[in-house]
Amino acid sequence: MLTEERYQLILQLLNDRNAVTVAELSALLHISESTIRRDLNALAEMGKLNKVFGGATALTQSSGIFETDVANRALTMSEEKTAIARYAATLIHDDDFVYIDAGTTTSRLIDFIENRRATYVTNGIIHGQKLIQKRLNAHIIGGKLKPLTEAVIGNYAVRSIAGLNFTKAFMGTNGIDLNAGFTTPDIEEAGIKETAVQSSYMTFVLADHTKFRKVCAATFAPLKVGCIITDTCPDNKYSEKTIVKEVKK
C-alpha cells in the first residue's frame, strides 16, 4: 500500500470514529504499529490530526466569528439539507406553536410544511415571506436586521420571544461540538437562538454532517437540549449526549 493511500485511509477512519489507537489502525490496515506511528507523526506535522499518546484524535475546527452569506450557504450540501428539511416538516402537528430559526436548512423546511393548523414564528426575513406565500398562520419577530444572514437579531428581538412558549423550535447552527455544544459566530444571533431554545418545549437542530466538530464564537445551547436531525453523524459519542436522527437523501 502506498503512503498516500495509508494517509487517506487513516484520515477516513479518524473522521468516522473521532479517535483511533495505534493498535486499532494496525489491525484494520494490516500494517505494523511502527509504520502507523510514523504515519500519525507525519499527518500531525501536516496539521491533519491531533497526535495523542497511543493514537490520534480528529481536529476540531474553530471558525471564530467567520461566516458566509446566505446565498453561498444555500448552495452547499443541497441534497442533504433537503432530506433533513423534509423529515423535520413531518414533526409539525396540529395546534403546534412553532419557532423557525433563520438559516438555509430551516428555510428549506418551510418548503415541506403542510400543516395549516399550526402557528409559526420566525426571525428569518426570507422565512417570513415563504410562510405568508404558503398562507400559513405566521408571525415575524421585530428587531435589528442582519444583512449577512437575513435574520432579525438584537435585544428587542430577544424580548419579543422571551414571553412566548413554543411547543417546538427548529434551529440552525454553524457548529456542533461534544464540548462546546451548538455554536454560532455572532454573539447577538446567539442571544436570540438561546432565548428561542429556552422558550421551547422541544428543540430540533437541523444540521448536515459538515457542521460537526466545528466551534464558533458563541455557544447558544448545550447538546443535551436539542435533538439533532442530520444526514450522517460522524461519531457515536454525539448520541451519548443527545438524540441524533439520521435521514437519508
Mean pLDDT taken over the chain: 91
**What per-residue confidence (pLDDT) applies to 25?**
92
**What per-residue confidence (pLDDT) applies to 134?**
96
pLDDT tens readout for residues 153-166 = 999 999 999 999 99
Q: Supply φ then ψ for residue 47, to 5 degrees.
A: 80, 25
| Sheet strands (E) in the chain | 19-21, 50-52, 55-57, 61-64, 97-100, 119-122, 137-140, 144-146, 151-153, 166-171, 175-177, 181-184, 200-206, 214-216, 218-221, 227-230, 244-246
**What per-residue confidence (pLDDT) applies to 63?**
63
Q: 3-state DSSP call for residue 125?
A: helix
- The mean per-residue pLDDT over the stretch 23-42 comes to 92
**What per-residue confidence (pLDDT) applies to 18?**
67
- The mean per-residue pLDDT over the stretch 223-239 comes to 92
Go through the domains of the chain in sequence order and give each one's CATH number. Answer: 3-59 (1.10.10.10), 63-246 (3.40.50.1360)
**What per-residue confidence (pLDDT) applies to 47?**
83
**What per-residue confidence (pLDDT) applies to 69?**
63
Whether the predicted pLDDT of 75 surpasses 70: no
Q: Quick check: 161 and 91 in contact, CB under 8 A?
A: no
Whether the predicted pLDDT of 240 surpasses 90: yes
Please report, for residues 189, 214, 233, the alpha-carbon distance to residue 63 in angstroms, rounded to integers and kept in the order given.
16, 7, 20
More confident residue, 46 or 125: 125
How many C-beta atoms surround the C-beta of residue 19 within 10 A? 15
Whether the predicted pLDDT of 13 surpasses 90: no
169-204 b/e (C-beta count within 10 Å ≥ 16 → b) = bbbbbbbbbeebbbbbbbebbbbbbbbbbebbeebb
**What per-residue confidence (pLDDT) applies to 172?**
97
Q: Which three cell numbers stand for residue 131?
A: 410562510
Which amino acid is residue 41, in one-letter code?
A: N
Categorize the per-residue pLDDT at 50 as very low, low, confident or very high, splitting at 50, 70 and 90. confident
